[in-house]
Homo-oligomer: A and B are copies of this chain.
C-alpha cells in the first residue's frame, strides 16, 4: 500500500523517545471521514413501516430482560413488566434512545490513535471470538495466547485497523475464569490503538474496567470512554442475565457498548428480510434504551450481527443479497435515531481462504461501507462463520479494507487541471508513462495493493505459482518478524501485571 498513510508521531516520555529512535515506524490511518454518500434502498414509507413494526413489537409482544435489577429499572421508568417480559411504550422508548450520544470518542493510550465513533466516520476492527485459528502452516487448530498476541500485533501494524479488538481468537490455553485478564492485557500491551473489553461475566467486565483505570487513571476513565464492548441479544427478543450484567457494568462506567442482536435470519427471525430487520431493530432499541436507565448519555452503538440460515442445511450464510438489503435498511433506521452504528465487514463461511471466502467477504463489505456503518467489526481474519480466525485472511482482508478506506475518501479533483494539461501535452496516440505529470502523481493517483499479483503468468510461475493465501502468510510472517511493541510506561505495565497476579490468586482455575 503506498497511496495513503500518516506516520506515527512521537510520543512523550523517555521510553517513548527511546522507542521512536529504534522502532519501525508503522503506518496508521486516522478514522475514515467518509466523503462519499450513503446508499439507501428504502423509500420513506418503507422506512416508517419498519420503524412502526418495531415499536409495535415492543409495545405489544414485548421483550424479555432476564435480570431482576433490569426489571426493576424498567418498572420504575414506566414500562409494563410481567415476569421477564417488558412492554415498552413508544414515547418512553424513544425518549431513552434520544439520551444516547450521536457520537463519542474512544480514547487510545496513544492519543493519536483515539477514534471518534459516529457521524460520517468509519472505524475498522478485526474479527472477534473464534475458538479456532488457521495458523502459519494454514492448519486449523485451537487458538492460543501466543496466537492472540500475534493477531493483536497485526492489528497494530495494519494501517486501516482502528481498533486492536479483544478476543480475535480464544486463547484456549488459558483457563476460562482467568482468560479475560490475559486477553485484555494482550490488547493493551501489543498495540496502542483502542481495544475491546470482555463481556462473558459482569465481574470480568469489572476487571477490565480496573485495568483501564490503571492504564488511563481512574478519573480519566470516569470522564472518558476508553473501551468498546460487545453484548449480543439472544434473538428473538431476549436480553439474558450475562449480557445485561456486562452491559450494566460498562454503561455505569461510561464505557461504550455495542448493543447487537445476533441474527440468524430465518431461524431466530421470521423468514423475511424486512421482517427480520423489524425484529432486530426492536431488540437493539430496547437494549440501548435500557443502557440509558443505567446511566443517561452512556455511549452506545446500535449493532447487529447478520447471517441468513440456509434452509437446506441450517448453516449460517454470509454475503447473500438479502443481507446486503438488510444492512442498507438498518443503516437508514440508525440514522433516523441519530446513533452510531456497528456492522460486520469481511464475513464468510469458507473453510479455506479460497474464492468463496473472498467473494462473501467483499459481498458483505460493500453494503457495510455504503450503509453508513461507523464501527465495522470482523474487518479482518474472519473464517468459517466466525469459528476460526486466519492469519492469511487477516492480512488479505486488511488490505481490502485499505481499499475501501481509499474509496471512502471520494473522488479527488485537485489533480484535474494538471491532468488536462497532460492530455494536451500527450495528445492522440501518445503515451503518458514518461510525462512529468505521471511522474509526479503516480504515487498517489492509483492505489497499488501489495498482496495482489498482477504480473504475467510466466513471472508468477517464476515466483513460485503462489496463490493469495501463500503470499499473505509470508506477508503476515514478515510483519511479525519486524514487529516492535509500542512504548508502554514500565510502571503502568508492572501495575497491570500486578493486578493480573492479584486477581489470578483469587480466581478459580475452572468453572466448576
Contact = CB atoms under 8 A, between A and B. Distances in A.
Contacts of A61: 423-424, 427-428
A400 interface: yes
B325 A429 contact: no
A273 interface: yes
A363 B403 CA distance: 9
A411 B60 CA distance: 25
A217 interface: no
Contact of A270 (B60, B311, B354, B423): B423
Interface stretch (A97-105, A242-250, A463-471): A463-471
A328 to B, nearest CB: 8
A63 to B, nearest CB: 6
Among A61, A351, A407, A469, the one with the most B-chain Cβ atoms within 10 Å of its Cβ is A351
What class of interface size applies to chain A in its complex with B? 35 or more
A351 B465 contact: yes
Given A432-B268, A468-B355, A236 B427 contact: yes
Contacts of A456: 315
Nearest to A4: B321
Interface string A411-423: 1110110111011
A467 B413 contact: no
A428 B275 contact: no
Which secondary structure characterizes the binding site on chain A?
mixed
A482 to B, nearest CB: 20
Contacts of A445: 265-266, 271-273, 322
A446 B308 contact: yes
A176 interface: no
Contacts of A95: none
A49 B416 contact: yes
Interface in A429-452: 429-433, 435, 437-438, 441-443, 445-449, 451-452
A429 B324 contact: no
Interface in A309-328: 309-317, 319-322, 324-325
A329 B140 contact: no
Given A271-B432, A278-B419, A438-B270, A311 B448 contact: yes
Interface in A187-216: none
Going nearest first, the 4 A-B pairs with the smallest beta carbon separation are: A275-B419, A358-B358, A272-B419, A270-B419
Given A238-B428, A275-B419, 10 more contacts: A49-B413, A237-B428, A273-B411, A311-B446, A325-B410, A353-B354, A355-B468, A358-B362, A359-B396, A363-B400
